[in-house]
Amino acid sequence: MILTSMNKWLELLLGLVLLLVPLTLVISDTWGLQMAVFSFIKGAVVVGVALIGLMFIMLGISDISS
């Protein structure tokens, strides 16, 4: 597989490209994506907080049973 043999510099460069391209598209608002991105981020925050709450409930149940 090609991904297992990539060196660290190629991985860093690919990660940087994959991070910077969407950011520049949102900042420049080329295709009108800015509002869609902000809606997605707001939804992701809500889901993330709910998953963190679920994690704490599971940890609490684990501590009670031991």
Domain limits of the chain? 1-31, 33-66
Residue 32, SS3? coil
Q: Determine the pLDDT at residue 3.
A: 55
Q: Determine the pLDDT at residue 56.
A: 93
pLDDT band for position 2 (50/70/90)?
low
Query: What whole-number distance in Å separates Cα of residue 36 and Cα of residue 39?
Result: 5
Structure-block tokens of residue 23? 């950011």
Q: Determine the pLDDT at residue 12.
A: 87
Q: How many other CB atoms are found less than 10 A from the CB of residue 25? A: 14
| Residue position matching structure tokens 């660290």 | 8
Averaged pLDDT for residues 12-17: 90
Q: Determine the pLDDT at residue 7.
A: 79
| Residue position matching structure tokens 């460069």 | 13
- Per the model's pLDDT, the better-predicted residue between 25 and 17 turns out to be 17
State the number of CA atoms in the 13 A half-sphere of 58 facing the CB. 6
pTM of the model: 0.58
